[in-house]
């Protein structure tokens, strides 16, 4: 196409640049206020390393574990009609909107020693509060809607006709799901997974109520900020953001590869 | 193995302004008791109490920036006693880029702050003790400097820069969004910020001026919306207690002992800008554990 | 062994009404019909993709109306191909085989085999979106044929293919059918029907209007529609007035020799039996009319001339005659038809 | 389809129920701990009403205003290839992951009186700090990635072939965008808008730094919690969540109607 | 006025190579070719959907190779319809008209007009996904025709239509062409080519192999491929050995009467000129061979019998003869062809 530079394109590029600038400017401001020496020092700080690892792994695991249930649910929401579906769809969006500390309080009630789940966990010697598992649950709660919505949109974009064609070829519904629906919705699901993963990593308000320790990076930043001020919190933020950026780029590239295979 | 809670884990909720000294104390304490793992959780003093009373979070030791928080919210349901252990003072904090920073001193600050192009921040009186103390300081200043109407003008100016916590204010200051903040001197010292030392008459530090402090009051919201509590000016005093249902009472005792010892904890406190009050008077003398009696006077 | 019984399906402005037919084991059944008469719909109902409002489908005497799609063992080749866009040609063809859990080697062998039969071996590693229409159609065919179902439903499977490939694939389809697979094939190409079917059903307005062997259907069309399908262009409602006169379309009288004196039904005659000339023809032909040329269409065997003589008739003449009489659109001409060429078919 | 109750479906329904329960249980716990009397009283509280209105309107406006630039940008990201595209995609995800208070501080640097934007605003008598406009900017910063990603997925699902067909019919690129690309990506875009709207409403950490007053609901809840405890914070959360739920259901229904028109 | 010059386009395993042809104003040009020879590709290059690697496209002597799609004023009807799935049939048809910013009333009038011409008036409010294949094809046609472009590109526009509609639409297309619109039409149906085109191009292996009027092309096919397309099934490479003997496919000798004594090229003869019998025929026919029946295909005019006599030949005989000799697959038969029926075409 030789339409690369049509008026519309120029307007779009202009608008896109504004958005990009809007995102980049604050980040750049943060980066420029941090000296390389500080960055290096922060990278070497064992507490920082540990917390970034913890954040990445808990969010990653919580994303993976909950995806196993959320993706099938998204499929149902895309394919089936049932009474009160609109209500269910509305409910699904709620965790996004709940004030984070309220979410934390709600989850605490859900997993604390007095709750059903808490008691079951205790009987096997597990206490969710102050435990990575509890952190993962808090992360999942606030971030699962992003996966659900993205996956649902993805599945809605898969023509039912192709699924039926696959059934006609003798494939079981399970096979059809894994070989047709899932791959065709893959792009959206990956987007959803990345959003869920990212959103989980950033959660502070809910996590800090469930578990101040072990410290995930947002809590660590808050803690350092409270104790020592911006100067000590900023380098951690920058390191964390850089690590995340690298992660996202890798994830997106992997996802792309998967698709073009 | 900080994942699963074990018996040797000691949970301490403390006021945000105690973060720095407590971290250092924890480090020293660790040397003495390597088997006890300290878990420090910083938050606003009242919020710390809420975590215990409303959220039923496990906690062994609670250290508040205002000993009354312990008296009002924790005693007697969650704690039996309260030890006042340190004091602090209010200061006006700024940095080198603050407007008029080269001119300001403790004779003209009340004029400079009222300048149109100067922005100052303070924390929310209803929420943060530092907030209502700021109002008290202003009222005292009005009297001390004989500036009629100063408090009123002050409270109306720059309301956009009221924040719930003093640490948020530091961020605003550090990123140059504002010029001055009302803050605890200890925090300013810990963050390496410049500050104006206010006269003892208005800085809420010196118990000798208690009577003068008590001449001003401020109304803040009470336990329910609509309810009003009137706060009297009084010296700033930090309190500490061990919770009744502390998971590890023994370790908690060891920590509080360490904290209150003159050459251990209190030395670190003083180094970080907070004067020791130990031993201090208490009205819960009877309930104070035997080992801690040495730090109080009846 | 495939029996469709009283199938009905109602859409807002289309109804498939009480549809029934049956196909014996090993039959090659072709459903011929115009666009939008419900042919595809019917195949999708048989395959289970669409649930009918009413009626039943039997396969080998088992009611499969509510059987799951994947359990029916009926292969359907879609009119719009429905090739899986995210799989290579190879994986598309192998899809059904993999579902059957065959050995890898067998799958590979069969895939290559069917790709060869369809002339698409060179495309095995391609993504569907890079394929041409005809290539896609062959992938769709290979995919379903590789499954070797007991019953095969083909929805216009050769529409995008050229003469050459069409010939090859017709051969293949007949071979598959000879091997015992029942085929139901939908098309609107009646030559395809003649070349392949041993039984034909004509579908019109949501009903089967005529059924039988290709010969039966095309030699005794029961309606203008069927006649047109079979290439007879001159087909009219008719009422016999006397042993000599028959009235066509209530508007024009023809001489006839059918030996009947009354009755109503249809009259038909072949285009090639219509003689055209510039002036009135003085001959033994008993039907002579003047008319105007409405259209002229070149065909493989000459030129088809469409003439309005009160009714529209079609005449097939050579290019020579066209040149000789200098015929063109709007020319006024005379046509002649022998009474003997007029065929009368009684209605019911 | 009569496959409604295949084994796969049952498993999916089971998994879906778990997810739904996981979302609903904490919310229900919160609801059950709130008496109707409290709820009614809270609803009548003018401060609560005002803050909910403020939250809804700022988040709504910020979503709409930023969508005008974000949707075209998403279109570019879906259609064009350019150097460093993976980096741009990674950057777009960053605002999700940035610790919220760090985001707040970054934005403050971006809009405070010393910044270019702040000075321009000041010259027309506007101060972003403590102003709904500032709140909207903070909301947009943390929530814009959700719209960008959803819209991008939507546009990627629109066959370029249809766009070219429309061009061939003589439509200008602008017309093609508005009549073909946008409607066909609509479902994803609406999902993205709702997510962005919802995410904006819930933002606390970044907003509280830019503006404590006027209080958006999450700030109000935090404030009440700190000042009076859970008992007073919970009813506001519940009222807020109910209002949001109603809003989401209405939005989703409107979006659906739009599509089936 | 439409001139394609040295167009090349390279894909991994397909190449369009140095493609050139030109179409005069008002021509009806038909491109005939097998599946996957690049017909659709070529149309998309002309319309600007795909940029060629090399070469130029001229419309009315203006180089439009890099002109924007929407500025070309060339209408393209897609092989896969490309109907907008979110718009009703009505809005699909009106799409181009709205882009032209016509008055609402005019748009409405034209839309209804074209829907009537395409026989889809009853579908105007329908969503595309509820339409049948043929209905979609007509929507696609109406949508582009309503635009009244100066040049119309049709990619197998009648493939999903039944005989009846096909006839109507052929009439319509000819009418449009007569009104002065240049048409380039792609198909693999040579009857369509005869019925519509005044100029034909045969495309094979990414090149135009023959070009001319339908008559020129089908009477003098220059390759087996063209011959097959035109329905001549017996077409072989040949080398004349003497004034009597010609060698076919280097394997079998035929008698001929072409009057030539040497040269190489092709031999062809019509299926209907091949005589089949059970025993050797004692007649004036000079070419007699024994062979085995490979396949039998019923056709409109009898049965086509495919016989292997060393080379594969096709004979068209009546059903009667089949019954009489009891012919079936694998029967051994004799064939006879008169030397006069053998037509020799020299190569270049
Ligand atoms: N979901 C639907 N809603 C409404 N009408 C429908 C639906 N599906 C099909 N139809 C209508 O049913 C009729 C039959 O469709 P079908 O696809 O079976 O036709 P067809 O005989 O295969 O035609 P073609 O030869 O053009 O493919 C058509 O008029 C079509 O518009
Ligand atoms: N993007 C692509 N990448 C690779 N090969 C392609 C691509 N697009 C088309 N081709 C190949 O180019 C060849 C010509 O395709 P085209 O669609 O023009 O064929 P066609 O002549 O229209 O055939 P048909 O009659 O089957 O529609 C095909 O072999 C096709 O596979
Ligand atoms: Mg059909
Ligand atoms: Mg094609």
Whole-number Å distance, alpha carbon D87 to ligand 2 midpoint, is 35
Domain that holds residue A59: 52-212
C-beta atoms of B4 and A127 within 8 A: yes
Give the per-residue pLDDT at D199: 93
Which residues in chain D touch residue E99, judged by CB atoms under 8 angstroms apart?
A: 169-172, 175
**Nearest C-alpha neighbor of E261 from the set E239, E238, E242:** E242
Using the Cβ of A162 and the Cβ atoms of chain C, whether some distance falls under 8 Å is answered with yes
Dihedrals phi, psi of B10, to nearest 5 degrees: -115, 120
pLDDT at A4: 47
Q: What angle do CA E303, E305, E308 make, to 5 degrees?
A: 180
* Joined tokens for residue C198: 């041993």
Local structure of D224: helix, strand or coil: helix
Name the minimum distance, in Å, from the CA of E189 to any CA of chain C. Answer: 7
Report which bound ligand comes closest to the CA of E131. Answer: 1
State the smallest CA–CA distance between residue A87 and chain C in angstroms.
29
* Distance separating alpha carbons of residues D232 and D239, to the nearest angstrom: 12
> What is the pLDDT tens value at each position of chain C, 348 positions in all?
899 999 999 998 888 888 899 999 999 999 998 888 899 999 999 999 999 999 999 999 999 999 999 999 999 999 999 999 999 999 999 999 998 888 999 999 999 999 999 999 999 999 999 999 899 999 999 999 998 899 999 999 988 888 888 888 898 899 999 989 999 999 988 888 888 999 999 988 888 889 998 888 887 888 887 887 777 888 888 899 988 899 998 889 998 888 888 888 888 888 888 888 888 877 777 888 999 999 888 887 788 899 999 899 999 888 888 888 888 888 899 998 888 888 888 875
Judge whether D139 is closer than 8 Å to chain E, CB to CB.
no
For C25, the token pair is 């084991």
> C66–D3: do the CB atoms touch at under 8 Å?
no
Q: Is B141 exposed, middle or buried (0-12, 13-18, 19+ CB in 10 A)?
A: buried
Q: What is the pLDDT along chain D (261 residues), one digit of tens a residue?
A: 444 467 888 899 999 999 999 999 888 888 888 899 999 999 999 999 999 999 999 999 999 999 999 999 999 999 999 888 999 999 999 998 888 878 888 888 888 777 788 888 878 878 788 889 999 999 999 999 999 999 999 999 999 999 999 999 999 999 999 999 999 999 999 999 999 999 999 898 888 888 888 889 998 888 887 777 788 888 999 999 999 999 999 988 888 766 554
Q: Can you tell me whether residue C220 is helix, strand or coil?
A: coil
Q: What is the mean pLDDT of chain A?
A: 89
Question: What φ, ψ does residue C288 adopt, rounded to 5°?
Answer: -130, 130
Closest CA to B42 of B155, B190, B233, B207: B190
Measure in Å the smallest separation between the Cα of E199 and chain A Cα atoms: 31
Pick the residue of D50, D222, D228, D233 with the most B CBs within 10 A to test the interface with B by mutation: D228
Q: For chain E, which ranges sit under pLDDT 50?
A: none
Ligand 3 centroid vs B2 CA: distance in angstroms?
67
- Opening angle at CA D68, ends D63 and D73, nearest 5: 110
D128 neighbourhood in chain A, CB within 8 Å:
none
**Predicted local confidence at residue D5, as pLDDT:** 60
Chain-centre distance of CA C200, in angstroms? 9
Residue of B nearest to D212 (CA): B163
How does pLDDT run across B24-37, given as a tens digit for each residue?
999 999 999 988 88
The minimum CA-CA distance between B81 and chain D, rounded to whole Å, is: 22
pLDDT of residue B81: 94
Residue D183 in contact with partner chain E when CB distance is under 8 A: yes
Q: Which among C70, C85, C86 has CB closest to A167?
A: C70
Chain C nearest-CA distance from E243, in A, is 32
C71 three-state secondary structure:
helix
> Is residue D146 included in any domain, yes or no?
yes
Assess contact for D142 and D216: CB atoms under 8 A: no
Binding site membership of E154 for ligand 1 (Cβ less than 6 Å): no
- Sheet containing E302-308: order of strands: E275-277, E332-337, E287-299, E302-308, E312-317
**Interval E277-305: pLDDT, tens:** 888 877 777 888 999 999 888 887 788 89
Of A189, A93, A178, give the one whose Cα is nearest residue A141.
Answer: A93
E69: chain A residues, CB-CB within 8 Å:
1, 3
Name the residue at shortest CA distance from atom 27 of ligand 2: C133
Ligand 1 probe mutation, E122, E135, E162, E164, most atoms within 8 A of CB: E135
Cβ atoms of residues C69 and A166 within 8 Å: no
Q: Within 10 Å of residue E136's Cβ, how many Cβ atoms? A: 24
Distance CA D58, CA B112 (A): 35
What ipTM score was computed for the predicted complex, to two decimals?
0.87
Instruction: Tell me which chain C residues have a C-beta less than 8 angstroms from the C-beta of E133.
Output: 35, 40, 79-80, 156
- Residue A112 contacts B where some CB pair is shorter than 8 Å: yes
Q: Is A126 exposed, middle or buried (0-12, 13-18, 19+ CB in 10 A)?
A: middle
Tell me if B46 and D101 make a contact (CB, 8 A cut-off).
Answer: no
Q: Tell me if chain D has a CB within 8 Å of the CB of B276.
A: no
Q: Do chains B and D touch (3 or more CB pairs under 8 A)?
A: yes
pLDDT-based confidence at A2, cuts 50/70/90? very low
Residue B127 pLDDT class (50, 70, 90 cuts):
confident
φ and ψ of B43, to 5 deg: -170, 175
pLDDT of E348 reads 57
Q: Is the residue at D111 inside a domain?
A: yes
Cα separation values, B206 from B186, B276, B298, C53, D199, Å: 15, 12, 20, 91, 48
> Domains in chain E, start-ordered, CATH in brackets?
2-229 (3.40.50.300), 234-346 (2.40.50.100)
DSSP string covering A179-246: IIIHHHHHHHHHHHHHHHHHHHHH--HHHHHH-SSSPPHHHHHHHHHHHH-HHHHHHHHHHHHHHHHH
E abuts D (3+ Cβ pairs < 8 Å): yes
Cα E285 off chain centre by: 35
The answer to whether C38 and A140 have CB atoms below 8 angstroms apart is no
Largest Cα span, chain C: 78
Residue in this structure with the two tokens 């820069």, named with its chain if needed: B161
**Is D237 close to A148, i.e. CB distance below 8 A?**
no
Whole-angstrom CA distances from B7 to A208, B4, B55, C81, E117 are 22, 10, 21, 68, 88
CB hemisphere CA count around C31 (13 angstroms): 29
Task: Assess if residue A258 is contained within a domain.
Answer: no
In a domain, D235, yes or no: no
- Phi and psi angles of residue C7, each rounded to the nearest 5 degrees, phi first: -70, 130
Examine residue D87 and state whether it is found in any structural domain, yes or no. Answer: yes
Q: Determine the Cα–Cα distance for residues A108 and A112; give it in Å rounded to an integer.
A: 5
**Separation of alpha carbons D138 and C231, rounded Å:** 74
Span from the CA of C111 to the centroid of ligand 3 (angstroms): 27
Residue in E closest to C303 by C-alpha: E195
D140 domain-assigned = yes
Query: Backbone phi, then psi, for E310, in 5-degree steps?
Result: 110, -45
D127 in any annotated domain: yes
**What is the SS3 assignment for C246?**
strand
Q: How many domains does chain D have?
A: 1
Residues 6+ apart with CB under 8 A from A103: A95, A138, A141, A142, A205, A206, D26
How far apart CA A128 and CA A108 sit, in angstroms, is 9
A256 touches chain C (CB under 8 A): no
Q: How far apart are CA D117 and CA D139, in angstroms?
A: 17
- Please say whether the beta carbons of D101 and A225 come within 8 A: yes
Handedness of CA A64, A68, A69, A70 (dihedral sign): positive
Q: What residues are paired with C155 via a beta bridge?
A: C186
For D113, the closest chain B residue by CA position comes to B177
Which tokens go with D239?
Answer: 């009222």
User: What's the gap in Å between B289 CA and the centre of ligand 4?
Assistant: 93
How distant is the Cα of E35 from the closest Cα of chain C, in angstroms?
5
Residue C206 CA, ligand 2 centroid: distance in Å: 36
What is the domain-level CATH number for residue A103?
1.10.3720.10
Per residue, what are the HEC states of chain E?
Answer: CEEEEEEEEEECCEEEEEEEEEECCCCEEEEEECCCCCHHHHHHHHHCCCCCCEEEEEECCEECCCCCHHHCCEEEECCCCCCCCCCCHHHHHHHHHHHCCCCHHHHHHHHHHHHHHCCCHHHCCCCHHHCCHHHHHHHHHHHHHCCCCCEEEEECCCCCCCHHHHHHHHHHHHHHHHCCCEEEEEECCHHHHHHHCCEEEEEECCEEEEEECHHHHHHCCCCHHHHHHCCCCEEEEEEECCCCEEEECCCEEEECCCCCCCCEEEEEECHHHCEEECCCCCCCCCEEEEEEEEEEEEECCEEEEEEECCCEEEEEECHHHHHHHCCCCCCEEEEEECHHHCEEEECC
pLDDT in tens, B246-295: 888 899 999 999 999 988 999 999 998 888 988 888 888 888 998 888 89
Q: In this predicted structure, what is the pLDDT of residue A5?
A: 60
Give the three-state DSSP class for B272. Answer: coil
What totals of helices (H) and strands (E) does chain D contain, helices first?
14, 0
| CA torsion, ordered A134, A136, A139, A141, to nearest 10 deg | -70
CA of E17 to the centre of ligand 2 (A): 14
Per-residue confidence (pLDDT) for residue D259, from 0 to 100: 56
Contact indicator for B50, D230 with CB cutoff of 8 Å:
yes
Residue C43 alpha carbon, nearest atom of ligand 1: 18
**CA C265/CA C237 separation, integer angstroms:** 6
Q: Which residues of chain C neighbour E139 with C-beta distances below 8 Å?
A: none
What is the number of other CB atoms lying within 10 angstroms of the CB of residue D49? 13
What's residue A3's pLDDT? Answer: 45
Helix (H) or strand (E) segment spanning residue C317: strand C312-317
CB distance E40 to ligand 2 below 6 Å? yes
Q: How remote is the CA of residue E74 from the centroid of ligand 2, in Å?
A: 21
Place of tokens 């290539």: C135
Ligand 2 in reach of E38 Cβ (< 6 A)? yes
Q: Torsions phi, psi of E61, nearest 5?
A: 65, 10
- Cβ < 5 A residues, ion ligand 4: C 132-133; E 40, 79
pTM greater than the 0.95 cutoff: no
Query: Residue E329 to residues C175, E307, E321: CA-CA distances in angstroms?
Result: 12, 9, 14
Q: Specify if D46 maps to a domain.
A: no
- Spatial CA neighbour of E79 closest among E29, E10, E141: E141
- The pLDDT tens digits for C278-326 are 888 777 778 889 999 998 888 877 888 999 998 999 998 888 888 888 8
Put simply, the chain C residues between 253 and 292 with a CB less than 8 A from any chain E CB are none
């Amino acid at each position: 196409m030789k339409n690369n530079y049509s008026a519309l394109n120029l307007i779009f590029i202009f608008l896109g640049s504004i958005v990009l600038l809007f995102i980049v400017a604050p980040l750049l401001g943060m980066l420029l206020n941090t000296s390389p020496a500080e960055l290096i020092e922060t990278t070497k700080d064992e507490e920082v390393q540990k917390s970034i690892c913890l954040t990445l792994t808990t969010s990653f695991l919580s994303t993976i574990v909950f995806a196993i249930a959320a993706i099938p649910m998204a499929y149902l929401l895309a394919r089936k009609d049932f009474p009160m579906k609109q209500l269910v769809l509305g409910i699904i969006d709620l965790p996004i909107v709940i004030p984070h500390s309220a979410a934390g309080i709600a989850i605490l009630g859900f997993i604390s020693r007095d709750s059903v789940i808490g008691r079951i966990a205790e009987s096997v010697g597990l206490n969710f509060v102050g435990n990575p598992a509890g952190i993962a649950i808090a992360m999942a709660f606030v971030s699962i809607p992003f996966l659900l919505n993205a996956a649902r949109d993805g599945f809605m974009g898969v023509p039912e006709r192709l699924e039926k064609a696959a059934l006609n070829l003798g494939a079981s519904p399970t096979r059809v799901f894994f070989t047709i629906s899932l791959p065709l919705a893959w792009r959206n699901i990956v987007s959803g997974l990345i959003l869920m993963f990212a959103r989980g990593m950033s959660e502070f308000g809910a996590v800090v109520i469930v578990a101040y320790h072990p410290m995930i990076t947002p809590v660590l930043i808050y803690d350092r900020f409270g104790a020592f001020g911006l100067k000590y919190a900023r380098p951690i933020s920058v390191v964390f953001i850089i690590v995340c950026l690298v992660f996202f780029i890798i994830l997106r590239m992997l996802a792309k590869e998967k698709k073009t295979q | 193995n900080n994942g699963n809670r074990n018996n040797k884990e000691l949970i301490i909720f403390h006021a945000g302004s105690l973060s720095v000294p407590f971290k250092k104390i924890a480090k020293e304490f660790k040397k003495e008791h390597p088997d006890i793992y300290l878990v420090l959780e910083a938050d606003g003093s009242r919020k710390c109490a809420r975590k215990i009373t409303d959220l039923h979070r496990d906690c062994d030791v609670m250290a508040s920036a205002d000993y009354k928080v312990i008296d009002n919210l924790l005693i007697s349901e969650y704690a039996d006693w309260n030890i006042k252990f340190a004091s602090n003072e209010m200061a006006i904090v700024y940095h080198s880029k603050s407007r008029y920073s080269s001119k300001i001193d403790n004779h003209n600050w009340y004029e400079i702050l009222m300048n149109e192009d100067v922005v100052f921040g303070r924390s929310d009186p209803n929420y943060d003790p530092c907030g209502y103390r700021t109002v008290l300081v202003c009222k005292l200043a009005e009297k001390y400097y004989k500036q009629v109407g100063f408090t009123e003008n002050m409270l109306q100016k720059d309301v956009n820069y009221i924040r719930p916590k003093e640490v948020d204010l530091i961020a605003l200051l550090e990123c140059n969004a504002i010029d001055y903040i009302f803050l605890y001197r200890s925090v300013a010292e810990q963050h390496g910020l410049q500050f104006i030392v206010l006269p003892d008459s208005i800085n809420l530090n010196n118990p000798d001026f208690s009577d003068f402090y008590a001449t001003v009051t401020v109304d803040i919201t009470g336990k329910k919306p609509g309810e009003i509590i009137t706060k009297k000016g009084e010296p700033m005093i930090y309190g500490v207690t061990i919770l009744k249902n502390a998971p590890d009472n023994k370790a908690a005792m060891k920590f509080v002992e360490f904290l209150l010892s003159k050459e251990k904890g209190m030395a670190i406190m003083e180094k970080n800008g907070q004067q020791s009050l130990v031993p201090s008077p208490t009205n819960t003398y009877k309930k104070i554990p035997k080992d801690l009696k040495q730090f109080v006077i009846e | 062994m495939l029996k469709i019984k009283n199938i009905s399906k109602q859409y807002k402005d289309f109804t498939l009404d009480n549809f029934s037919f049956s196909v014996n084991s090993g039959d090659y059944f072709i459903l011929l019909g115009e666009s939008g008469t419900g042919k595809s719909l019917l195949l999708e109902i048989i395959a289970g993709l669409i649930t009918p409002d009413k009626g039943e489908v039997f396969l080998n005497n088992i009611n499969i109306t509510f059987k799951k799609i994947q359990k029916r063992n009926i292969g359907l080749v879609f009119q719009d191909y429905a090739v899986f866009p995210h799989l290579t040609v190879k994986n598309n063809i192998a899809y059904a085989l993999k579902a059957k859990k065959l050995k890898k080697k067998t799958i590979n062998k069969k895939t290559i085999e069917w790709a060869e039969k369809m002339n698409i071996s060179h495309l095995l590693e391609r993504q569907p979106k890079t394929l041409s229409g005809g290539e896609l159609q062959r992938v769709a065919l290979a995919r379903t044929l590789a499954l070797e179902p007991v019953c095969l439903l083909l929805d216009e499977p050769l529409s995008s293919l050229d003469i050459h490939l069409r010939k090859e694939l017709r051969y293949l389809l007949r071979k598959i059918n000879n091997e015992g697979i029942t085929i139901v094939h939908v098309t609107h190409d009646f030559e395809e029907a003649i070349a392949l079917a041993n039984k034909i059903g004509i579908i019109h307005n949501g009903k089967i209007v005529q059924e039988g062997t290709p010969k039966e259907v095309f030699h005794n069309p029961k309606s203008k529609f069927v006649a047109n399908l079979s290439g007879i262009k001159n087909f009219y409602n008719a009422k016999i007035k006397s042993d000599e006169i028959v009235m066509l379309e209530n508007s024009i009288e023809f001489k006839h020799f059918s030996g009947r004196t009354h009755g109503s039904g249809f009259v038909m005659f072949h285009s090639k039996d219509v003689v055209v000339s510039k002036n009135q023809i003085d001959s033994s032909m008993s039907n002579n009319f003047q008319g105007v040329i409405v259209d002229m269409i070149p065909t493989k065997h000459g030129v088809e001339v469409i003439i309005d003589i009160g009714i529209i008739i079609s005449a097939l003449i050579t290019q020579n005659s066209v040149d000789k009489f200098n015929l063109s659109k709007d020319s006024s001409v005379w046509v002649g038809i022998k009474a003997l060429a007029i065929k009368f078919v009684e209605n019911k």
